[in-house]
Structure 1
Amino acid sequence: MADKNEWGSNLSFIFAMIGSAVGLGNIWRYPYVLYSNGGGAFYIPYIVAILLMGIPFLILEYGVGYDFKSSFAKAVKKIDSRCEYLGWFLPVCVFVIMIYYAAILGWDGIYVILSFFKGWGADPNTYFTVSLLQDSGNYMGLFHFLPIIAIAMLAGWVIIWCISHRDLESGLGHVSKVLVPVLFIIMVGIVVFSLTLPGASIGLSELFDPDWSLLSNFGIWMAAFGQIVFSLSLGMSIAFTYASYTKDDADLITNTISIAFANSLFENFAALGVFSILGYMSLQSGTPVEQLVAQGTGLVFIAYPTVFNVLGQWAYVLGPLFFLTVYLAGLTSILSTVEPLSFSIQNKFGLSRSRTMTILIIVGALLSMIYATSFGADLLGYVDTFINQIALLFGVIVECIIFAWVFNAEKLIGFLNARSKTIKLGKWWLVIVKYILPIFISIVWIGGILDVAAASSIDQTNFTIATAIIVLVTTVVLTKLPAKNPDWDKADERI
């Protein structure tokens, strides 16, 4: 069967994009960001960030992606051949994310099994950091291999391969139409149950108690814009790639609004569940909510198991459902992170989708084994910080300039408006994507660099430099390798 890179329907495109946006960050990052940045007051900069950056930038990515109907690297090369490096840089960065996401997926896969019998024991913190991860705290841990984590990660890679190496619609398209609704249904069930727990109101009052004074603080605005960049996967070349797979009659503006709304709904709904459970924990333990709040792995693999330990028989239902939800969220996100690099390689080197995906997943699986070591958790944090706060944001800024200025975003307006059943674009959109977005994202980027520089240890600095070198060398190699596909230099615009 020949490979085909096209969505079977607009619904497949929408569900795949929602699956890409709805991920681990919605469950473990957003509730903490909301709480620590003014509670209810955070919604003002949050909504501004969605309207001012999230939706306008997605429309830009979708519009250019649809215009070229080609991979990100090929389109950027066509816009300006000197920018081909960026065309490979962003997909490579996203592929790096896929590699370490596989580690988190592996951890969660283990917890799906553990949740049926509370296998983390009476002290979830000790189990996670000492028994499971065997965290060494230094780079010598790279020489201590953890087979159980490696097996769990490889199981995830097999699932990813089974879905992604097939034709786009029969693989990712069909799976997204099943996984995304299931993901939302399970989350609704978890949240509804969480709201009935004694003490839920304690957590919710803490979450939504607005601190209006923080609105004058630059930090809350930077946090809101940073959250939208990460939550909607802006500038990661995923939206561009997915839009290039769409059919000719796609209403990209309406799709953008639907995807942004669904993502926002999911992460705010997840926040209700998280803080209802934290309120319950506070009531049971007598510990104030502010001392229980955490982000990242601490929330998912320590705080939640602590709750399940005192939840009684309901824990044997809620626990597996929760960790299955996290697994599905991670899976839908990971499936999107391989697409930009895969499609670019297919375009340049003339390989089939199935062969390209197989090669990339084998490479990704092998490289991911570095996280199946006692230094894996620390290394994951270092790489994630570099990719998200430095590399990707830099790429977003440059991408915004290339698409809005060099490509000239103005020529997209007529085409997008002709298919839109909702809002119409005008000069206001051009002002946002040409001027406001590059400035705001640059501010967030500079803030991220300063945060990383201030908090970095010697180990983090060294591994950040090593990651940067690997990403840049890979980018240069893919750019310089001669194209095998005669159509590589024939990416003609359609608009």
Structure 2
Amino acid sequence: MTSAKAAGGNRETFTRNSGFIFAAIGSAVGLGNIWRFPGVAYESGGGAFLIPYLVALLTAGIPVLFLDYAVGHRFRGTAPLSFRRIKKPVEALGWFQTGLLFVISVYYAAVIAWALSYFFFSFNQSWGDDPAAFFTGEYLKVGDPGVSTTIVGGVALPLIVVWLAVLAVLLLGVANGIEKVNIVFIPLLFVGFAGLVIRAVTLPGAVDGLNALFTPHWEALKDLDVWIAAYSQIFFSLSIAFGIMIAYASFQRRKANMTSSGLVVAFANSSFEILAGIGVFSALGFLAYQQQVAVSDLEGLTGPILSFVTFPAVISEMPGAAFFGALFFGSLVIAGFTSLISLMIGVSAGIQEKWGLSRTKAAVGVSVVCGLISIGLFSTTSGLIALDTVDMFANNVGVVSSAILMTIILIWVLRRGDMLRNHLNAVSTFKVGRIWLGLVGVVAPIFLTIMLVQKVWSVIDEGYEGYPTWYISVFGWGTIALVIVAAVGLSLPSWRGRDDPDFLPWPPLPEGVRGTDHKASKETV
């Protein structure tokens, strides 16, 4: 058997390990690092939150990241193909993850379009004296919950630009597109955002903001919700358990140090979150100083409101507002765009593999469909409310369910834990011990199940954001139902693309390493 067949065919690869690392960091470092982590930390014990955050990173985040890497790198495919090669019926789980990537992509692009608009707004502070009224009124023209067909031109035009940029990167491929974009954008993001943070910490009142964020409230450690918030933040931030890292790992070269790369990605992501926390709360301390109120009295400390309402208010008060506004919203665009690329490659490559399409046909087809849905649904006057609802259900129900299913099926049902662990150890310098199986198979599913049950019960009992029940049913539960139906439907057609029945996962284990010989590998396909 040729090495190409053993590798699963002539698959695109990153040209160097640093390319993979930058791409993985680009996926992990997204909008949530900037607008979610600081607020979650502040509301969950301040400085004390760093303890459950670190515990969650070490006991669930990194272990599940390694699981994604092991699946993608060993079975050489996006989630549907990799899971199919493990056990054919599990292909449906791969399509469930791909469906989530599709859903998240179509609304995530809209937020990048907002940031792109605000990048230009920052040069003359177009949001004026009332950023809240400008954002929801003049810019988004938000209406009541419902289905609107009124397109908001100010959102649709930059959204078209975003999708054209996505298409261009996908057409260029892994090495010439994804790798090169991330190698340029990620250092630029870190340098630019670091400059913004340095300026923020020198502003009057910055110390008050930092004290508000980092003063530890130790009693919070007794609250289960704080620990759940930590595990939630880690899972959503690292882009794990819903196909992204499986796809990226499948493009990694044969001789790739997977676990060491994973550690770099995980700690780079967490470092950026802490950097974002310092910058955001320094700026909030400055805003509180300017308004002569306490930081705790400020509104909009997390989510889109933080970025598009609170931060414009901060920027308007800063010396050199235009420059630092462009720096902030430029950082949002870069962070969001590199994450969007990782979402879309999972969808495009998955379709390409299943139906044996060329990269061009898959990229164009998927980008056009995603772009049309994105513009038709999320650039309308009901776009903000639809985005908020779909985002909550896709992440808190869809992604969490995906992670639970993935860990239980691979570790407990199919018993592939040892095989995947041996593969990681065969290609990596940082060895994974048997404790990894306990973390992936026990600790992660337990916390994820608690998260899922708590969120589902909360929605059933209290609703969500006061939206009508019919709206939550259609845009919330309907989204999850649609992904499930798509997962089953896409797994039923016969595989027309590259799915060699004699596929042998690679690379072969070095001499002396037991547990995954070629015979055993063929039995898992």
Shorter-chain TM range is over 0.9
In the superposition, relative to structure 1, how do residues 261 and 296 fare at CA in structure 2: closer, same or farther (>3 Å)? Answer: same
Matched with 2:197 is 191
Q: Which moved more, 1:209-218 or 1:465-474?
A: 465-474
Matched with 2:5 is none
CA–CA separation in structure 1 for the residues paired with 2:10 and 2:67: 28
Contact map agreement 1:64 1:403 (CA 8 A) in 2 = no
CA–CA separation in structure 1 for the residues paired with 2:257 and 2:68: 14
Contact map agreement 1:4 1:168 (CA 8 A) in 2 = no
1:481 matched to 2:488: no
Give 3-state SS (helix, strand or coil) of 2:173's partner. coil
Q: Superposition pairs for residues 106-255 of structure 1, below 5 Å?
A: 106-140=113-147, 142-255=148-261
1:58 matched to 2:70: no
Contact map agreement 1:4 1:167 (CA 8 A) in 2 = no
AA in 2 matched with 1:414: N
Contact map agreement 2:404 2:448 (CA 8 A) in 1 = yes
Q: CA deviation at 1:465?
A: 2.9
Q: Superposition pairs for residues 7-406 of structure 1, below 5 Å?
A: 7-140=14-147, 142-292=148-298, 293-312=300-319, 314-369=320-375, 370-405=377-412, 406=414
AA in 1 matched with 2:226: I
Q: CA deviation at 1:65?
A: 1.2
Give 3-state SS (helix, strand or coil) of 1:138's partner. coil
Q: CA deviation at 1:415?
A: 3.5
Structure 2 unmatched ranges of 5 or more: 1-8, 507-515, 517-525
CA–CA separation in structure 1 for the residues paired with 2:105 and 2:91: 22
Q: How many residues align?
A: 491
AA in 2 matched with 1:161: L
CA–CA separation in structure 2 for the residues paired with 1:168 and 1:126: 42
CA–CA separation in structure 2 for the residues paired with 1:371 and 1:350: 31
AA in 2 matched with 1:449: V
Contact map agreement 2:77 2:246 (CA 8 A) in 1 = no
Contact map agreement 2:71 2:246 (CA 8 A) in 1 = yes
| Deviation per residue, 1:182-210 (Å, 9 max, x gap) | 00000110000000000000100010111
1:409 matched to 2:421: no
CA–CA separation in structure 2 for the residues paired with 1:389 and 1:492: 36
CA–CA separation in structure 2 for the residues paired with 1:429 and 1:466: 36
CA–CA separation in structure 2 for the residues paired with 1:460 and 1:286: 39
Contact map agreement 1:3 1:167 (CA 8 A) in 2 = no
AA in 2 matched with 1:417: N
Matched with 1:472 is 484
CA–CA separation in structure 1 for the residues paired with 2:61 and 2:403: 12
Q: Which moved more, 1:78-87 or 1:119-128?
A: 78-87
In the superposition, relative to structure 1, how do residues 489 and 87 fare at CA in structure 2: closer, same or farther (>3 Å)? Answer: farther
Q: CA deviation at 1:437?
A: 1.7
Q: Which moved more, 1:370-379 or 1:449-458?
A: 449-458
Q: CA deviation at 1:419?
A: 3.6
Give 3-state SS (helix, strand or coil) of 2:473's partner. helix
In the superposition, relative to structure 1, how do residues 4 and 426 fare at CA in structure 2: closer, same or farther (>3 Å)? Answer: closer
CA–CA separation in structure 2 for the residues paired with 1:474 and 1:419: 35
Give 3-state SS (helix, strand or coil) of 2:368's partner. helix
Contact map agreement 1:84 1:479 (CA 8 A) in 2 = yes
Structure 1 unmatched ranges of 5 or more: none
In the superposition, relative to structure 1, how do residues 361 and 490 fare at CA in structure 2: closer, same or farther (>3 Å)? Answer: farther
| Deviation per residue, 1:79-126 (Å, 9 max, x gap) | 222222111011111111011011101111110111011111111111
Q: CA deviation at 1:489?
A: 4.8
Identity fraction in percent: 36
Give 3-state SS (helix, strand or coil) of 1:248's partner. coil
Give 3-state SS (helix, strand or coil) of 1:165's partner. helix
Q: How high is the TM-score relative to the length of structure 2?
A: 0.91
CA–CA separation in structure 2 for the residues paired with 1:175 and 1:3: 23
CA–CA separation in structure 2 for the residues paired with 1:486 and 1:359: 19
AA in 2 matched with 1:413: R
CA–CA separation in structure 2 for the residues paired with 1:438 and 1:109: 38
CA–CA separation in structure 2 for the residues paired with 1:27 and 1:490: 46
Q: CA deviation at 1:473?
A: 2.8
CA–CA separation in structure 1 for the residues paired with 2:408 and 2:505: 18
CA–CA separation in structure 2 for the residues paired with 1:84 and 1:75: 8
Q: CA deviation at 1:474?
A: 2.2
Give 3-state SS (helix, strand or coil) of 1:139's partner. coil
In the superposition, relative to structure 1, how do residues 121 and 388 fare at CA in structure 2: closer, same or farther (>3 Å)? Answer: same
AA in 2 matched with 1:252: M
AA in 1 matched with 2:493: L
Q: CA deviation at 1:5?
A: 2.0
Contact map agreement 2:348 2:366 (CA 8 A) in 1 = yes
In the superposition, relative to structure 1, how do residues 382 and 488 fare at CA in structure 2: closer, same or farther (>3 Å)? Answer: farther
Q: Which moved more, 1:407-416 or 1:395-404?
A: 407-416
Q: How high is the TM-score relative to the length of structure 1?
A: 0.96
AA in 1 matched with 2:480: A
| Deviation per residue, 1:408-458 (Å, 9 max, x gap) | 111233332344334x22121111112222112111111221233323331
Q: CA deviation at 1:277?
A: 0.5
Contact map agreement 1:385 1:452 (CA 8 A) in 2 = no
Contact map agreement 2:353 2:498 (CA 8 A) in 1 = no
Q: Where in structure 1 do 4 or more consecutive aligned residues deviate above 6 Å?
A: none
CA–CA separation in structure 2 for the residues paired with 1:95 and 1:28: 22
CA–CA separation in structure 1 for the residues paired with 2:129 and 2:10: 50
In the superposition, relative to structure 1, how do residues 420 and 485 fare at CA in structure 2: closer, same or farther (>3 Å)? Answer: closer
CA–CA separation in structure 2 for the residues paired with 1:148 and 1:430: 49
Give 3-state SS (helix, strand or coil) of 1:166's partner. helix
CA–CA separation in structure 1 for the residues paired with 2:240 and 2:78: 16
AA in 1 matched with 2:424: L
Q: Superposition pairs for residues 414-425 of structure 1, below 5 Å?
A: 414-422=422-430, 424-425=431-432
CA–CA separation in structure 2 for the residues paired with 1:123 and 1:273: 22
Contact map agreement 2:101 2:344 (CA 8 A) in 1 = yes
